[in-house]
Amino acid sequence: MRVLPYGDQALLVEFDDGTGVRAFYDAFTESRPQGVVGVVPAARTVLVRFDPTVTSPTVLMAALRSVRSRRAGEANGPLVEVPVVYDGEDLVEVATATGLTTREVVERHLAPEYRVDFCGFVPGFAYLSGLDPVLHLPRRSSPRVRVPMGAVAVADRYTAVYPRSSPGGWNLLGHTHIQMFDVNSSRPAVLAPGTRVRFCELVP
């Protein structure tokens, strides 16, 4: 892991891959060093924001290096079930691109237990890792101006649910009726880093 400077109130911890990020994030959220006010995981990095009146980059850097990353596979975040109707606009295209039937695409998407690696893009948009490699596809060459709220989609090595209607370039497999982000809830984002996810099929 590398620790990179990020101004006077943050440090960026960089890993070779998502596995390193997950392991570090799990360990770090269990015991945060003093002065840490924010932890933002991403694909290869974890941004650590700190209060400069409590700690310093030097002290914090030493604390970060001594975080003992947990072994992969020890995920113990809450498990969330997301019911999906697999009626996405791109389902047929994804099947064709992957050489599967649409039924097989659905089964492959349902099979894994996923994990929220990080969020970004819009509030509550969670990037889920664990997608079957056969479903790894690039983003659409022309993003949609409007992806409907609740759309369940795949791109690169991730799957995600759009918490609100927005532009988007992911491949749409279906939709869920669950509200993924609610500012009035005590847990505003259904999917937060470390949460485990299973999709289940709703037949309309």
Partner 1 sequence: MSGYLEVVTPGPLTLVQDLGRPGYEAIGVSASGAFDRGSFALANRLVANAQGAAGLELLLGGLRVKAHGDLIVALTGAPAPATVDGIPVGHASVLMLRDGVELAVRSPSTGLRTYLAVHGGLDVPPVLGSRSWDTLSGIGPPPLAVGDVLPVGPSPARFPCVDLAPLKPDPDGDVVLPLTPGPRADWVEGDALSILCSTRWTVLPASDRAALRLDGPAVTRARKDELPPEGLVPGAVQIPPDGRPILFGPDAGVTGGYPVVAVVAAHALDMAAQLRPGETLCFCL
| Chain residues that interact with partner 1, rule: CB under 8 A | 4-10, 12, 14, 37-47, 49, 118-126, 181, 183, 188-189, 192-193
Pick between residue 4 and residue 134 the one whose CB is nearest to partner 1. Answer: 4
List, in order, residues 6 or more apart from 169 with CB less than 8 Å away. 139, 140, 142, 143, 144, 155
Q: What letters, b where the CB count within 10 A reaches 16 and e where it falls short, cover 107-138?
A: ebbeebebbbbbbeeeebbbbbbbbbeebebe
User: What angle, rounded to 10 degrees, do the helices at 102-110 and 91-98 form?
Assistant: 90
List, in order, residues 6 or more apart from 129 with CB less than 8 Å away. 18, 22, 114, 115, 117, 157, 158
Pick between residue 10 and residue 147 the one whose CB is nearest to partner 1. Answer: 10
Q: Three-state DSSP class for 55?
A: coil
Distance from C-alpha of 16 to C-alpha of 204, rounded to nearest angstrom: 42
Pick between residue 41 and residue 150 the one whose CB is nearest to partner 1. Answer: 41
CB of 86 to partner 1, least distance (A): 25
Pick between residue 46 and residue 131 the one whose CB is nearest to partner 1. Answer: 46
Pick between residue 38 and residue 78 the one whose CB is nearest to partner 1. Answer: 38
Distance from C-alpha of 188 to C-alpha of 180, rounded to nearest angstrom: 8
